[in-house]
Amino acid sequence: MATLLITGASGYLGRTLVPLALAAGDAVRVLTRHADRLNALPWAPAVAVVEGDLADPAVCARACDEVDVVLHLAGLAHARASAADYRRELLDNSLQLAAAASAAGARRFVYLSSCKAAYPGHSPYALYKQRTEHALLALAPALDVVCLRPGPVYGPGLRNNLATLLQLARLRWLPFLPRGTAAFSLIGAEDCARAVLLAATHPALPGRVWALDDGVQYTLPALVAAVRRQHGLPAVPVHLPAGWTRPLLGLLPVLRRRGIGLATGHVLFDEHYPVDPAFAEATGFAASTDFYRELGSL
């Protein structure tokens, strides 16, 4: 049994990770800015809680005391924030926590990054996710660091860009889709949480960045077609060349209302996230589901 510190426990993935860790017999401590957000969660009585801000060295030291492994999920996600905000919330706070973990004698630090880190030129979020990975990995050998880059995470209650895509795919009137868009990968919430927990102990993982996915290669047309079939909606009538589609993003009112604009063009046309088998090959990890099988619960 290990003592785990988990940040971001009240977030989308954290809510799935904590009960898995408890079921595995680990002692769990969570660091949160708002302890009251845990009250409605069924596992809350089973965890130790440290309330405070990652920017406070004393809070980080208290949270890391006698901890074996830190699972760092917290961080500013896809909000409209400044580069300075992302630097503080992603890079500075992660290094603060890692320093406290190292000083406390923790043996491993697992950082939940993002597939977006592969494209640091596309947004401040992606840039500081990548810089945080590099800075944490540079702490070796004082601390064993594992960086994980999951694809978009799906599951009940999802609230990310994939949720926006599902809303779009369910529109009765959907006049066009891009043709020939690049393939991308996804991962289910429970599978992602299982991979994070595996990263806490597996000996082959420290010292590098690992992509996480469910092993299925998706495309936008195939995904949208599956959603529309499930809801008994007609197929999208027109598939436009990518060069025609990009200028239309953000122009149609129905898309603007759902936050789909020109920035979406990067995701659709400029970023490629192929399935990467390296994590599975190194650990024996196998996803238990895929997006198509989970459609009914989304």
Tell me if 172 is assigned to some domain: yes
Confidence grade of residue 267 (pLDDT, cut at 50, 70, 90): low
**67-76, 128-137, 157-166, 287-296: range with lowest mean pLDDT:** 157-166
Contact 143, 137 (CB under 8 A): no
- Tell me the percentage of the chain whose pLDDT exceeds 90: 67
Same-domain pairing of 131 and 18? yes
Q: Is residue 202 part of a domain?
A: no
Cβ–Cβ < 8 Å for 22, 85: no
Q: Which helix (H) or strand (E) holds 296?
A: none
Tell me phi and psi for residue 31, to 5 degrees. Answer: -110, 120
Q: How many residues in total does the chain contain?
A: 298
| Residue 268 predicted with pLDDT over 60 | no
Assess whether 8 and 144 both reside in one domain.
Answer: yes
**Structural domain count, the chain:** 2
pTM of the predicted structure, to 2 decimals: 0.90
User: 165 and 125 in one domain?
Assistant: no
Mean per-residue pLDDT, 79-103: 93
Residue 110: inside a domain, yes or no?
yes
Residue 21 sits in the same domain as residue 143 = yes
Question: Do residues 19 and 103 both lie within one domain?
Answer: yes
8 and 143 assigned to the same domain: yes
Which residues neighbour 243 within 8 Å (Cβ) at sequence distance 6 or greater?
none
Let me know whether 63 and 126 are in one domain: yes
pLDDT at residue 180, rounded to an integer: 61
Answer yes or no: do 74 and 135 share one domain. Answer: yes
pLDDT for residue 70 is more than 90: yes
Q: What pLDDT does residue 49 have? A: 96
Residue 37 lies in a domain: yes
- 25 and 139 inside one domain: yes
209, part of any domain: no
145 part of a folded domain: yes
Q: Is the pLDDT of residue 253 over 80?
A: no
Would you say residue 186 has pLDDT above 90?
A: yes
pLDDT: which is higher, 196 or 176: 196
Do both 126 and 234 map to the same domain? no
Q: Do 117 and 14 belong to one domain? A: yes
56 has pLDDT over 70: yes
* Segments forming the whole domain that contains residue 109: 3-150
Q: State the CATH number of the domain containing residue 103.
A: 3.40.50.720
Torsion of CA 127, 282, 107, 47, to 10 degrees: 80
User: What φ, ψ does residue 251 adopt, rounded to 5°?
Assistant: -90, -35
With cut-offs at 50, 70 and 90, classify the pLDDT of residue 254: very low
Residue 117 inside a domain? The answer is yes
Query: Same domain, yes or no, for 117 and 242?
Result: no
CA-nearest of 234, 227, 243, 244 to 168 is 227
Q: What is the pLDDT of residues 110-158, one digit of tens each?
A: 999 999 999 999 889 999 999 999 999 999 999 999 999 999 899 988 8
Indicate whether 284 belongs to any domain: no
